[in-house]
Amino acid sequence: MPRESLKSKRERAATVALRMNERYGEAETELIYDGDPFHLVIAVLLSAQTTDKAVNKVTPVLWERYPTIEALAQAKQEDVEEILRSIGFFRTKAAHVIECARIVLEDFKGNVPSTMGELTKLPGVGRKTANIVLNVAFDDVEGIAVDTHVFRITHMLKLSNAPTPQATEFDLLKVFDRKDWKPINHQLVRFGREVCVARRPRCNDCELSDICPSAKKSQ
C-alpha cells in the first residue's frame, strides 16, 4: 500500500477541524479554572489517568486547605495524599503538587512560568500539561495537547501512527493549521467522551466516519 501524502493528511485534518468547530465551537477545558495559572497547572497535572470530574471534586478541597502557594509548598505529603486519595496515582501526584509549589515559589518568585521549556521543568508536567496551561492561562499556542483521547482519535483517523504522545503531537503540528492547534484538543476530548469512545466507538453516529479509515474498516 502506498504511503499517504502529507497533502492528503492535511486535507483530512482540515475537514476534522471544520466539523469539530461546527459541533463544539470554541470548546474549553472542563476542569475548574478560576483564572489562577497555578491552580490550572495543578488541575491538569492531577487529571492524568483520571477524569476531569474526579479532579473537580478534589481541587476545591485542596485550595480551601492550602489557599496560597506558600501554604502548599509547606504541606505534609500525607495530608495532601488524603485529599487526593480518590484519584489515580494520588501518592505520586501529592509529591508532585508540593514540589511544584516549592519550585514556583523559590525559582519563579511565585509566578507560574509562561514558556514550554520552563513549564516542563516542573515535576509531573510534560508537553500535554504545558500546552494546556499555555493555551488557557496565557493564550499562547506552541503546540497541541495530546491526551489519551487526542492520541486515540488521531490514530484512528490515520493522522499519525507515532508510538508516543509527543511524537504524535509533532505529526499533528504538520497536518493541522496553526489556527486549529488551540481548540482541537478540547474538541477532540469531548468528542472522545461522547462519540469516539475508547471501548465502543459510535461510528454510525460519527460525523467523521466518511473520512475515517478506521470507521470504514469496521463497517
Q: Is residue 88 assigned to a domain?
A: yes
185 and 112 both lie in a single domain = no
**How is residue 36 written as a grid cell?**
489562577
From 137, 161, 196, give the residue that closes a domain. Answer: 137
pLDDT score, position 219: 44
Q: Are residues 131 and 149 in the same domain?
A: no
Distance from C-alpha of 180 to C-alpha of 90, rounded to nearest angstrom: 33
Q: How many domains does the chain have?
A: 2
Point out the residues that are catalytic.
Answer: 128, 147
| Domain presence at residue 1 | no
Q: Are 77 and 92 in contact (CB under 8 A)?
A: no
CA distance between the termini of the chain:
21
- CATH no. for residue 97? 1.10.340.30
Alpha-carbon distance 132 to 109, whole Å?
22
Q: What is the pLDDT of residue 83?
A: 98
Same domain, 41 and 15: no
Domain assignment of residue 32, yes or no: no
pLDDT per residue rounded down to tens, the chain (219 residues): 678 999 999 999 999 999 999 999 988 889 998 999 999 999 999 999 899 999 999 999 999 999 999 999 999 999 999 999 999 999 999 999 999 999 999 999 999 999 999 999 999 999 999 999 999 999 999 999 999 999 999 999 999 999 999 999 999 999 999 999 999 999 999 999 999 998 899 999 999 999 999 986 544
Q: Indicate if 113 and 164 belong to the same structural domain.
A: no
Give the per-residue pLDDT at 218. Answer: 46
pLDDT score at 160: 97
Residues 112 and 92 grouped into a single domain: yes
Range of the domain at 91: 37-137
**Of 90, 111, 137, which closes a domain?**
137
- Judge if 119 and 189 occupy the same domain: no
Looking at the fold, whether 178 and 148 belong to one and the same domain comes out as yes
Q: In terms of domains, do 51 and 131 share one?
A: yes
Calpha distance 9→193 (Å, rounded):
24
Tell whether 125 is covered by a domain.
yes
